[in-house]
Amino acid sequence: MKKFFSFVVFPAIACIMLLGSCKKGDTGPSGPAGPAGNANVIYSNWIQTSNWVKSTTSVGSGKVTYYFDVASNDLTQDILDKGTVLVYAVLYNDPDGVGIAKLLPSIYYDGGSAGTQYRFQYGLFLNKVRIICDVVPNGIPATSNKVRVVIIPGGVSGVITGRSATPPDYSKLSYEQVCEMYNIRPY
């Protein structure tokens, strides 16, 4: 028992005393800044455009206008004044390819023919994004189109590997690049 006490207990007590008696030193220097994240970037799920409404106020020769509203309490006056709102669409029967997310505004021809043209755009309002589709000469936008709204508050910058953190020209970036920049799940 005496050997056990000498070999185990005494060294254990000595270690506890040494560790417990260490003087706390000054705080070390701060580390480098981490990569920019998307803490303030807000994005919707993909929303199916199943409720197109025929406009009674947007009239023009040779076209029919429809709209689809996306409610968003995140679309505040501050966002409208200082932020950036991007609207992407995956369009049914898009001749550029199925499942491609396009930044609006965008125009496509049904099935690639010049017979019917769909002009997609959007308007921003307090708490609402209005997706607008002018159909030339006539037709109805597909209810299987999908849209996604990305809200970037003023002062938020993203980073793509190898690029600076200056505000980008979103029209020159693919949807996938914007997702990478703001850490957004693409689909």
pLDDT digits (tens, 9 = 90+) for 22-69: 556 666 677 665 455 556 899 999 999 999 999 999 877 889 999 999
pLDDT score of 97: 84
Domains in the chain, number = 1
pLDDT score of 46: 98
Is the pLDDT confidence value at 4 over 50?
no
112 is in which domain, residue-wise? 42-182
Q: Which of 30-44, 61-75, 128-142, 157-171 has the lowest mean pLDDT?
A: 157-171
HEC assignment per residue over the chain:
CHHHHHHHHHHHHHHHHHHHCCCCCCCCCCCCCCCCCCCCCEECCCEECCCCEECCCCCCCCCEEEEEEEECCCCCHHHHHHCEEEEEEECCCCCCCCCCEEECCEEEEHHHCCCCEEEEEEEEECCEEEEEEEEECCCCCCCCCEEEEEEECCCCCCCCCCCCCCCCCHHHCCHHHHHHHHCCCCC
Is the pLDDT confidence value at 18 over 50?
no
Which pTM does this prediction carry?
A: 0.74
| 2 inside domain | no
| 168 inside domain | yes
